Amino acid sequence: MTENEVLQALPAYALNALEPDEMVAVRAFLQTRPDLQQRVEMLTDAATQLTYAAPPTPLPTHLKKRVMELAHADVALAQQPVTESGAPQAEAPQDAATESTDETVAADERAEDTTPQASDAPFQRPASQPGAAGATRPRFIGAPTPTAPPRPRTPATPSRATEPRRNWFANALGWKVATLAALAAAVALAIINAQMLRETSNFTNQVATLQQNADDLQTQVTALESDKSDLEAALAAASTAAEGSNDEVANQLAALQEEVAKLQAENQQIRADYNEILLQQASTEQQLVEFAQAQTLVPIFGTEDTPDALGGLFSGPEGNLVALRGLDTLPAEQTYELWLIDAEGTPVPAGLLGADAPAQTAIRVELPGSVEEYSAVAVSIEPAAGSEQPTGPIVMVGTRT
């Protein structure tokens, strides 16, 4: 796998979602790049936290009773005497309750889904049905067959029949929302980090290329300087020679000096580009450190008009960073503006991100308060000077998890 392929596969590697051969390839690559281990550990921690995203869900109130009834029934059947023919001996009426527990549980389940009967009289099974006195119930091989009459069923109360299910549904919905929110944050963090790692890798490659170009130019300049020295010596030696020969050497020297000046200018430009990329690389690496130390992440996703947009607001001890991807660069008279939205839905301006925000690795912003004080984040297109209230289209929205 190439370096870019490995960087793109890191989120899936942290989730153990790659094919076995891909997992081996990424693991082997990481052994040669210890600088990526911290990123993998952070992605793995984010994936692990999804397990704890769900709120605790209480068990249904009737579950313990049913489990205990089934346990008592199993114990009673195991202790029941068996005749030489393998059939259980008839027991006294006091064992009827345990022998018919399985029938009682089924009756209780039916009672929870029906309206309680007006009469409290015990339920009597007709003699013609299996399980009644004188009838034979189906039995599994090796299992005794209880023949005692069933005990009366108890009508279920409405709260028992409906409330646990309602609570379960509410808790299940809450788990789903919490898990999806945590998953969205993890995915956004993984994608943005992978992109920034890829950009850092690109910077490294550009620096290496520029360094090589600068070295090549310096070699050419050195060679030309040597030729220039030789021509100057030849010109001095030809000072007593014919005028035509002297002019020819002078012309060669002038052309050589011009070529040297041109190469020196190119070399200086390459050095300037080299230093600029070094600064960009250092800035990106610093932002990666700040992302890793971020205490709050608000994932921001595109709206219907910008489905491919993705970003995040990172807030940590070093400040606040916004990273946006998948948006178009705006004309000079427009800008992207960040908004914080409170619990009442009121947007508060949180900084201008610039017309070229998607092309930047990240933008540092000064928020009007802590991210924790707000419920959501949005990005809109506004005039270059910004707006006090959103006036243009909302292109990205995210909720704080």
Please report the pLDDT score of residue 349 as a whole number: 92
Pick the more confident residue, 191 or 319.
319
Reported as a pLDDT band with limits 50, 70 and 90, residue 231 is: low
Q: Nearest 5°: phi and psi at 365?
A: -130, 150
pTM beyond cutoff 0.75: no
Comparing 31 with 287, which gets the higher pLDDT? 31
Our measurement of the distance from residue 240's CA atom to the centroid of its chain's CA atoms, rounded to an integer in Å, reads 81
Residue 95 CB coordination number (10 Å):
16
For tokens 């070699």, the residue is: 219
- In the chain, domain spans: 63-156, 188-287, 296-399
Query: Could you tell me which CATH class the domain 296-399 is placed in?
Result: mainly beta
Better pLDDT: 340 or 259: 340
Beta bridge partners of 297: 314
195, HSE (Cβ side, Cα atoms, 13 Å): 18
What digits encode the pLDDT tens for the residues 113-161? Answer: 444 444 444 434 444 444 444 444 444 333 444 444 555 444 444 443 3
**What's the pLDDT score for residue 4?**
72
State residue 330's pLDDT score: 93
Question: Highest mean pLDDT range out of 8-12, 71-75, 98-102?
Answer: 8-12
Across the chain, what does the average pLDDT equal? 67
pLDDT tens per residue across span 309-358 = 888 888 877 778 888 888 889 999 999 999 998 888 889 999 999 998 88
Q: Where on the phi/psi map is residue 345: left (φ > 0), alpha (ψ -120 to 50), or beta?
A: left
Q: Please write the tens of the pLDDT for every residue from 194-220.
A: 666 666 666 667 667 767 777 777 777
pLDDT for residue 127: 43
Percent of the chain whose pLDDT exceeds 90: 8
Q: How far is residue 182's CA from residue 170's CA, in Å, rounded to a whole number?
A: 18
Pairwise pLDDT comparison (195 vs 67), residue with the higher score:
67
